[in-house]
Amino acid sequence: MIATLQCIVLDCPDPAALCRFYASLLGGKIDTPDPRWSLDEDWSTLHLPSGMVLAFQRVADHRPPRWPDPAHPQQSHLDLGVPDLDQAQSHAEAAGATVLDATPDRSWRVLADPAGHPFCLVRD
């Protein structure tokens, strides 16, 4: 094991509104300060009673999925908390991941799993 699941991130046009929707279904605390990420009009979080976190990320020109139409796929990604970005990236690449964005001096890196789904390695 090299990581812990930090949160599940859903792409959307209005993060605050979608966060409120899920809070009405699941309970929890909206936009609790957390050192792992910043909160702004493009990012909202819901800390669930179970300890799990859902995050909502604004995407310009968001096109909602159309189940089960593969031309409009589901839009989410996993954030995986890691203590060492370089080590985690090397491990993930050896397991079959592809690097999509490893911009220096950031606390995260974007990779794709072998099926092409993006996920982020985020420094704990």
Query: Is 111 in contact with 89 (CB distance < 8 Å)?
Result: yes
- Given a cut of 80, is residue 115 above it in pLDDT? no
The region, left, alpha or beta by phi > 0 then psi within -120 to 50, assigned to residue 22 is: alpha
Query: Is 12 in contact with 59 (CB distance < 8 Å)?
Result: yes
- Please state, in angstroms and as integers, the Cα–Cα distance from residue 50 to each residue in 112, 115, 118, following that order: 28, 29, 25
Count of domains in the chain? Answer: 1
- Please state, in angstroms and as integers, the Cα–Cα distance from residue 119 to each residue in 17, 28, 47, 70, 124, following that order: 24, 24, 20, 19, 15
pLDDT tens digits for 59-82? 999 888 887 888 888 788 899 999
pTM: 0.81
The whole domain housing 105 covers 4-123
pLDDT tens digits for 18-68? 999 999 989 999 999 999 888 999 999 999 999 999 999 999 998 888 878
CATH code for position 95: 3.10.180.10
The total number of residues written for the chain in this structure: 124
pLDDT band at 100 (very low <50, low <70, confident <90, very high): very high
